[in-house]
């Protein structure tokens, strides 16, 4: 029931609920990965089952694909879709220009490919993710397993000339073994503290041999939807230069809450 949800989960839910209002019949929708995106997938599934919404979803990870199928969303590949109407995803950090850090859930490569193949990218999040400067959250970069330690050294050396506060990096682990992405790669988390020029850093990182992609999403996000525990929702559109506030009610009888708390 909604009364059993934490304030952060309520904030995630109302942001997700507002975001699915952007989805219309017949759309091809990119489905993000992570805890906030999971709320969005469940909201869309409810619309498919109860309102007859007809969409095709392109998931950004195997776990999102599994959830989408579970809630009744038709899943297709990006190659089948070719282009998407909208992608809805979460973020680990965002700044005033709606630049993002993503990849905390390990799906940054597929997330960036899907987001850039969309007419619009909508990010759903809570106020805790807003920062003045990106970098407090460790920046993930996906690297191939071969020679990853060499790649790590090259990245740390490159960071000397970048406008960042720190240069340490760590290999992401899954228990006693390196974390493995859906593409069979590893992730290095860069502990930068503060990123002065995200666009420059993104371009330079991708030139390092062994780096597949980085978690900086620059000039990709169009709309950020912020959810709050009291039901308030703030929608910021970077292209229109608008900020709109709304309030959503969540009731203990809501079917989605029942599903989540079972």
Instruction: Show me where the domains of the chain are located.
Output: 2-130+219-261, 139-213
33 annotated as a binding-site residue: yes
Catalytic residue (choose from 46, 93, 111, 142): 111
Query: Is position 115 annotated in a ligand binding site?
Result: no
Residue 246 DSSP symbol? E
- Residues sharing a CB contact under 8 Å with residue 239, sequence separation 6 or more, in sequence order: 222
Domain 139-213 has CATH 3.30.70.260: yes
Residue 235, annotated as binding a ligand: no
Residue 30 φ/ψ, nearest 5 degrees: -75, 130
Q: Which pLDDT does position 5 carry in this prediction?
A: 84
Residue 129, annotated as binding a ligand? yes
Q: Say yes or no: do domains 2-130+219-261 and 139-213 share a fold.
A: no
Angle at 191 between CA 117 and CA 137, to 5 degrees: 55
- What's residue 257's pLDDT? 54
**Structure confidence at residue 1 (pLDDT):** 37
Q: Check if 111 is active-site.
A: yes
Measured CA to CA in angstroms, residue 152 lies from 92, 104, 110, 158, 165 at distances of 22, 18, 22, 10, 17
192 three-state secondary structure: coil
* pTM confidence score: 0.93
The predicted pLDDT at position 187 comes to 98
Say which residue the tokens 């308030």 belong to.
Answer: 232
Sequential pLDDT tens for the chain (262 residues): 345 788 999 999 999 999 999 999 999 999 999 999 999 999 999 999 999 999 999 999 999 999 999 999 999 999 999 999 999 999 999 999 999 999 999 999 999 999 999 999 999 999 999 999 999 999 999 999 999 999 999 999 999 999 999 999 999 999 999 999 999 999 999 999 999 999 999 999 999 999 999 999 999 999 999 999 999 999 999 999 999 999 988 654 455 555 554 4
Give the CATH class of 2-130+219-261.
alpha beta
Minimal CA–CA distance to 123: which of 200, 193, 34, 202? 34
The answer on whether 34 is annotated among ligand-binding residues is yes
According to the annotation, is 161 in a ligand binding site? Answer: no
259 to 25, 31, 65, 228: CA distances (angstroms): 24, 19, 18, 21
Q: What angle do CA 152, 199, 182 make, to 5 degrees?
A: 50
210 annotated among ligand-binding-site residues:
no
Closest CA relative to residue 164, chosen from 238, 110, 213, 214: 214
Alpha carbon dihedral 60, 61, 64, 68, in 10-degree steps, equals 70
pLDDT at residue number 196:
97
10 annotated to bind ligand: no
**Cβ atoms of residues 21 and 130 within 8 Å:** no
At CB < 8 A and 24+ separation, what contacts does 172-178 make?
172/106, 172/140, 178/145, 178/148
């Amino acid at each position: 029931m909604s009364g059993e949800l934490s304030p952060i989960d309520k904030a995630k839910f109302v942001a997700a609920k507002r975001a699915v209002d952007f989805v219309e019949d017949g759309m091809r929708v990119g489905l993000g990965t992570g805890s906030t995106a999971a709320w969005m997938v469940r909201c869309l599934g409810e619309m498919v089952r109860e309102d007859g919404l007809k969409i095709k979803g392109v998931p950004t990870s195997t776990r999102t694909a599994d959830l989408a199928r579970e809630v009744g969303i038709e899943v297709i590949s990006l190659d089948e879709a070719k282009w998407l109407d909208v992608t809805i995803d979460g973020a680990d950090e965002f700044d005033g220009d709606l630049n993002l850090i993503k990849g905390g859930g390990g799906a940054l490569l597929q997330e960036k490919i899907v987001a850039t193949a969309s007419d619009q990218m909508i990010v759903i999040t809570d106020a805790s993710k807003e920062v003045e400067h990106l970098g407090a959250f460790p920046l993930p970069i996906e690297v191939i397993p071969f020679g990853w330690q060499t790649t790590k050294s090259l990245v740390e050396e490159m960071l000397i000339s970048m406008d960042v506060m720190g240069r340490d990096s760590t290999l992401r682990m899954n228990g006693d073994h390196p974390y493995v992405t859906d593409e069979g790669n590893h992730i290095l988390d860069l502990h930068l503290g503060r990123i002065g020029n995200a666009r420059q850093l993104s371009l330079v990182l991708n030139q390092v041999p062994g780096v597949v992609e980085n978690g900086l999403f620059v000039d990709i996000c169009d709309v950020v939807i912020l959810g709050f525990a009291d039901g308030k929702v703030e929608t910021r559109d970077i292209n229109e230069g608008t900020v709109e506030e709304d309030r959503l009610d969540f009731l203990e009888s809501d079917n989605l809450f029942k599903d989540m708390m079972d």
